[in-house]
Amino acid sequence: MDNNMLVKKIFLAYIIGLILLTGCASREYLTSTKTNQKIKSEAQTKIQNISDIETWQQTDNIDLDGDEIKDKILFKCQPGSNDFTLKVNNVSTSGKGENLDGNFVIVNIDKTDKFNEIAISESGPSSDEQTAFYCYDGQELIFMGKVQGSSNSIKILGDGKVIANKRGQILQTWFYEEPYNLSKLHKLEKIPQDLYKMNSKVKMK
């Protein structure tokens, strides 16, 4: 066998080996890519599932507008989020709060009218509790206003007033009652007061 023939065979063997190595590498790359895509897809699915599980959701069925037909109420928010969605029948609205409590309560501010109201409380950044009120008139959700205090500390006796639990900042941190009336448009209007009780004990010397 002459040298030229030997060189050709060696070169041909080299080319064949190179092709085989390239093919193996390609298959390994494709396998690795598919595996990574599968892992990424599974991770995204897990994240979505966690998000679904952690959604706070509350429902109720009660007549809100006095037509003697129960309205379907849905409240949703995410833990740690400041946004929520409130839906009554086919009408929905979005709202904001800080450190939402994750639920709502049904209240009757004025027993002489036909409405029941929805109260949504939030804890705030540092126990600065507030509560937002909504009314459903059969066609739309009406934001009535937001007052200080939680649904547990606010007083609602059914006489058309809401007594908020207001934080005072004069001299010290203290709380006092701040009354609101229902307006003709079913909005909460603050009733001005000349004096506010501090309810703090003092010692005279």
199 Cβ neighbours under 8 A, 6+ residues apart = 174, 175, 176
Q: Write the CATH number for 131.
A: 2.40.128
Residue 85 half-sphere exposure toward CB, CA atoms < 13 A: 12
**Do 113 and 61 lie in a common domain?**
yes
Domain contains 156: yes
Q: In Å, how far are 83, 89, 185, 195 from 55, measured between CA atoms?
A: 12, 20, 33, 43
Q: Kindly state the tokens that stand for 150.
A: 């939680």
For residue 68, tell me if it sits in a domain.
Answer: yes
Domain-embedded: residue 199 = no
Is the domain of 144 the same as that of 103? yes
Residues 133 and 84 in one domain: yes
What does the alpha-carbon distance between residue 133 and residue 104 come to, in Å, rounded to a whole number? Answer: 10
- Structure tokens belonging to residue 136: 């459903």
Residue type, 61: N
Task: Describe the strand order of the beta sheet including 155-156 as a list of residue ranges.
Answer: 155-156, 161-168, 174-182, 188-190
Taking only the tens of pLDDT, the chain with its 205 residues reads: 555 565 555 656 666 666 655 554 445 444 445 455 554 444 343 333 434 446 788 999 999 999 999 999 999 998 767 999 999 999 999 999 999 988 899 999 999 999 999 999 998 887 789 999 999 999 999 999 999 998 888 999 999 999 998 876 666 676 778 999 999 999 999 998 776 665 666 677 7
Determine the pLDDT at residue 42: 47
Q: For residue 59, what pLDDT is reported?
A: 92
Examine residue 205 and state whether it is found in any structural domain, yes or no.
no
Do 142 and 95 lie in one domain? The reply is yes
In a domain, 196, yes or no: no
Is 75 part of a structural domain of the chain?
A: yes
4 lies in the same domain as 65: no
Q: Is 124 exposed, middle or buried (0-12, 13-18, 19+ CB in 10 A)?
A: middle
- Kind plus residue range of the DSSP H or E element containing 46: helix 3-53
Please check whether residues 170 and 80 belong to one and the same domain.
Answer: yes
Do 18 and 43 belong together in one domain?
Answer: yes
Residues 110 and 155 both lie in one domain: yes
Structural domain ending residue among the three candidates 35, 53, 71? 53
Is residue 204 domain-resident?
Answer: no
Residue type at 181?
A: N
45 with 117, same domain?
no
Is residue 142 within 8 Å of residue 135, measured between CB atoms?
Answer: yes
Say whether both 12 and 103 belong to one domain: no
- How many domains, in total, are found in the chain? 2
- State both tokens at 126: 């540092």
Residues 61 and 39 grouped into a single domain: no
Instruction: Tell me the two tokens of residue 157.
Output: 């006796």
Residue range(s) defining the domain that contains residue 32 = 1-53
Same domain, 72 and 113: yes
Within 54-180, residue ranges assigned H as helices are none
Domain annotation covers residue 88: yes
